[in-house]
Structure 1
Amino acid sequence: MSDQDIEQRIARDIARWQRGVQEKGEPLVMDEGWLQTPPGLRLPFSVLKSAGVPPREVELLAQRAALRERLDACSDTQQRARLERELSELEQHIAFRLEALQRLGRG
């Protein structure tokens, strides 16, 4: 078999492979969240997302939103002060976690 025969066979196999691949799967869609995620965390977060398990930070942000709603609806001054303190502590905890994730993601 000559070099030219080998090149033709490789070209033919590549063309066949490309035709087969074009009909499979769906195109990859890059969302804004993927681009904002530090490169070192993209794979672990992608695995969690595929498994239907949201990162802990998503749950914390939902807790913060619920706490803000409770605070907006609260009229008791003592309870309001307690909710404000709880919200402040939660926001600080979220900030620390997000900062740690950024450091971890940079490697």
Structure 2
Amino acid sequence: MTRPTDSHARQQRDAALRTLDEAIADHLAQAQRSGELQGAPSYGKPLAEMAGWEETPVEFRLPFKILKNAGVSPPEIELFHRRAALRQALAAASCDEERGRLQRELGELEQALALRLEGMRATGRV
């Protein structure tokens, strides 16, 4: 059962959000009218993808982006960066010995990453 104070607090929060949304909409409309938006280099173009976006499983892209915007980096991101670096090193490797070492290291890392991601999927926790 919802208490009256919960309902009142929710109404106040909703009103504050509407006010903020209206202020943002007004600011954007003013920038549009003044031509400020059209002057931006990215105007009318899709935003550039973040590094590692394609390598990140679809179900984790938004949660990871939210964490990144909050200044928090989950450990899996470091694993993705390390995997990308290993793939680049492997592509640039010149001798078979180095290539074999990098392939083993990449395989171990991908296995650890797959286990970690599967655990995250199973528990539903990022």
TM-score norm. by structure 2 comes to 0.50
> 80-89 or 52-61: which moved more?
52-61
Could you tell me which residue of structure 2 aligns to residue 89 of structure 1?
108
2:37 aligned with 1:22, yes or no?
no
Distance in 1 (alpha carbons) for counterparts of 2:16 and 2:108: 55
Larger Rg: 1 or 2?
1
> Where do residues 34-45 of structure 1 align in structure 2 (5 Å cutoff)?
36-37=59-60
2:77 aligned with 1:58, yes or no?
yes
Aligned-residue identity in percent: 43
Segments of 4+ moved more than 6 angstroms: none
Shift of 1:49: 4.0
The structure with higher relative contact order (CA 8 Å, sep 6+) is 1
RMSD across aligned positions (CA): 3.4
Task: Work out the number of aligned pairs and report it.
Answer: 80
2:73 aligned with 1:73, yes or no?
no
Q: Which amino acid aligns with 1:85?
A: R
Could you tell me which residue of structure 2 aligns to residue 101 of structure 1?
120
What does the per-residue CA deviation read over 1:62-97, in whole Å, with 9 as the maximum and x for residues that have no partner? 100000000000011111100000000000000000
Gaps of 5+ in 1: 1-13, 28-32
Q: Which amino acid aligns with 2:112?
A: H
Alpha-carbon spacing, 1:23–1:83, altered in 2? closer, same or farther (3 Å) = same
Distance in 2 (alpha carbons) for counterparts of 1:78 and 1:46: 38
Gaps of 5+ in 2: 1-10, 26-55
Q: Which amino acid aligns with 1:67?
A: L
Shift of 1:21: 3.6
Higher helix proportion (structure 1 or 2):
1
